[in-house]
Amino acid sequence: MRKYAHIVFGCLFTLLIWGCGASDLSFINEVKRFEPHWMSLSEKSAKIQHNLSITRRRYPKDMDAIAPMIRKGGKDWAYLLSLKNQYSRVMSQRDSLEAQYQRKKEVLVKTVTEFNQWSNQLMKNKLDEDQARRQFEQYRQQQQQLEVEMDRIYTELIQNIESHNAILRRIAQALNLYNNFDIDPK
């Protein structure tokens, strides 16, 4: 039976190709070439998630480490207090970015799931060609919008981490600390 499997497979493949026109095959190839865009977007999402998880732990921990010293700041107390207030804003911005990211991640997961189901239906030839092309264009636009939003969130998160680093460097310098509070974004 196994020695005939390749013949059966070849016949089924030939029937599949005869059932699809050249335009169908080019559309399927276009969809297959588009699929890696979702992986790229998923990788960006993972970078954002990684940086958010680091900052979620580090921001409060770093502030807790220097807050007692700020209260004893002496002549630099007002300057240190203003830096602490700036740092509080950095922490709030980070929390806002995390909320935005969570909303976009939910949309990404939902859209990729729908796209995969749609793609399976397309491969089984269960979709009207015109409707499938319109839906594909919608998925392409959704992917591009998500990519723009994820890029924006990533850029703002990196700027937020750089602000954290700069403020804590200035606080450490004012307190004559030799601690390194820098976070290296990924």
Tens-digit pLDDT profile for residues 137-157? 999 999 999 999 999 999 999
Using alpha carbons, list the distances in angstroms from residue 171 to 63, 72, 76, 117, 177.
Answer: 10, 13, 10, 53, 8
The answer as to whether 17 is a domain residue is no
**Model pTM score:** 0.81
The answer as to whether 11 is a domain residue is no
Q: How confident is the model at residue 116 (pLDDT cuts 50, 70, 90)?
A: very high
The answer as to whether 38 is a domain residue is yes
The answer as to whether 179 is a domain residue is no
Contact 174, 76 (CB under 8 A): yes
Q: Tens digits of per-residue pLDDT, 95-113? A: 999 999 999 999 999 999 9
The answer as to whether 88 is a domain residue is yes
The answer as to whether 82 is a domain residue is yes
- Count of structural domains within the chain: 1
The answer as to whether 186 is a domain residue is no
What is the pLDDT, as a whole number, of residue 164? 97
Q: How confident is the model at residue 9 (pLDDT cuts 50, 70, 90)?
A: very low
Range of the domain at 168: 22-174
The answer as to whether 129 is a domain residue is yes
Q: What is the distance, to the nearest Å, from the Cα of residue 152 to the centroid of all Cα atoms in its chain?
A: 10
